[in-house]
Amino acid sequence: MSQRTPARLSLRPTRRALLAATATLVASPALLRRPAWADGPWPSRNVRFIVPFAAGGTTDILARVTAAKLSEDYGQQFIVENKPGAGGNIAADYVAKADPDGHTFIVGTPGTHVINQFVYKAMPFDPIRDIDPVIIIARVPNLFSVTPDLPVRTVEEFVRLAKGKPGGYFYGTPGLGSTAHVSTELFKSMTGVDIVHVPYKGSAPSLTDLVAGRIHLTIDNLPASQPFAESGAIRPIAVSSAKRWPLMPDIPTIAEAGVPGYEAQSWFTIAAPAKTSPEIIGKLNASVERFIKSEDGTARLRKLGAEPAGGSPADMGRYVLAEAEKWGKVAKFAGIKPE
């Protein structure tokens, strides 16, 4: 496998810049005293949440739930616009080049913030330099599931089976560079199993083939996998998060089930064009934090298969950098080459 990684794997220059910028967001009284907008209180008109995928997916659903609450709070409409394509790069590039006036944001994912730089050779934007962090809305674990005919019921049993037949088992994902893809490659790197990647155009066809037995394994987002698991169409074995999922307490984590230290989650954010006012970012951060940490907000997100996250813009900035280092190493292990 190729070990070549793109030039963007080197994050040192942008790490210093981002840490300085995110520290400024929370530590500079001078900035907080500066007027954030010139035309009256923010928001002064409709605010757009740009979603990088088609309607109906996890990103879209979380964006709409959050936007509806913010519309109530501010008396201005927070409108969700879907701009799918290029693994989220079309939407992210649109936001990166938007007017930083606090009326356009992206609802981002690991792809837009981190993974795409290892998959696409010609990135139209810099995910660190051109996009400012606001908040992590939620994290979503992946569900390790097998086709029902596979004679395994634990992660350890699957590892033994796969090691007995290298290259003989297939795992499906929603596509190259998806969180399901890199999560499974992380599993391969930590267990030494040789299983073959079958990329699809979305979770639904991948899970349909898992039901039919045409592939053997998926480690895909819980919201997509859960209905199939609950119906008995696939066999859930473990979750990818560090802790057990509260609504599936009998399903162990992959780390508990024989791969110590394993953790992989999808996460969903709000981010702004670079140079957006720190006051606006701080105000939006506080509003979303209140919602997702409220009893109603937490219940609504968990019902969707998501765990509320929150934190400051600086927290999000540090998390994105840590995820970039983690998944950059996985991309190198998997031989993922930018195309």
Residue 66: per-residue pLDDT: 97
- Same domain? For 136 and 194 the reply is no
With a cut of 50, say whether residue 160 has pLDDT above it. Answer: yes
In a domain, 160, yes or no: yes
In a domain, 42, yes or no: yes
With a cut of 70, say whether residue 82 has pLDDT above it. Answer: yes
Higher-confidence residue: 13 or 208? Answer: 208
How far apart CA 247 and CA 240 sit, in angstroms, is 14
**Closest to 254 measured CA to CA, from 190, 332, 173:** 190
How far apart CA 265 and CA 143 sit, in angstroms, is 10
Alpha helical stretches, state H, 192-235? 203-212, 222-230
**Closest to 217 measured CA to CA, from 234, 204, 205:** 234
pLDDT digit string, tens, across residues 16-61 = 444 444 444 444 443 443 433 444 689 999 999 999 887 877 888 8
Average pLDDT on 178-193 reads 93
Q: What is the largest CA-CA distance in the chain?
A: 67
Residue 40: per-residue pLDDT: 62
Contact assessment for residue 197 and residue 171, using Cβ atoms and an 8 Å cutoff? yes
With a cut of 60, say whether residue 299 has pLDDT above it. Answer: yes
Lowest mean per-residue pLDDT among 17-26, 49-58, 189-198, 276-285: 17-26
How far apart CA 271 and CA 8 sit, in angstroms, is 20
Residue 48's domain spans which residues? 7-140+266-334
Higher-confidence residue: 60 or 100? Answer: 100
Q: Which residues touch 84 (CB under 8 Å, ≥6 apart)?
A: 52, 53, 54, 90, 91
- Same domain? For 26 and 129 the reply is yes
Higher-confidence residue: 53 or 321? Answer: 321
- Give me the residues paired with residue 82 across strands: 51
- Same domain? For 131 and 55 the reply is yes
- Same domain? For 108 and 232 the reply is no
- Same domain? For 225 and 162 the reply is yes
pTM for the full predicted model: 0.76
**Closest to 136 measured CA to CA, from 322, 327, 312:** 312
With a cut of 70, say whether residue 81 has pLDDT above it. Answer: yes
pLDDT band of 171, cuts 50, 70, 90: very high
- Same domain? For 19 and 134 the reply is yes
In a domain, 152, yes or no: yes
Boundary-marking domain end, from 239, 256, 281: 239
SS3 79: strand
DSSP state of 87: G
Average pLDDT on 160-180 reads 92
Mean pLDDT of the chain: 87
Average pLDDT on 55-80 reads 92
| Domains held by the chain: number | 2
Residue 3: per-residue pLDDT: 39
Instruction: Measure CA 323 to chain center.
Output: 10
With a cut of 70, say whether residue 92 has pLDDT above it. Answer: yes
- Same domain? For 218 and 286 the reply is no
Among residues of the chain, what percentage have pLDDT more than 90?
Answer: 67
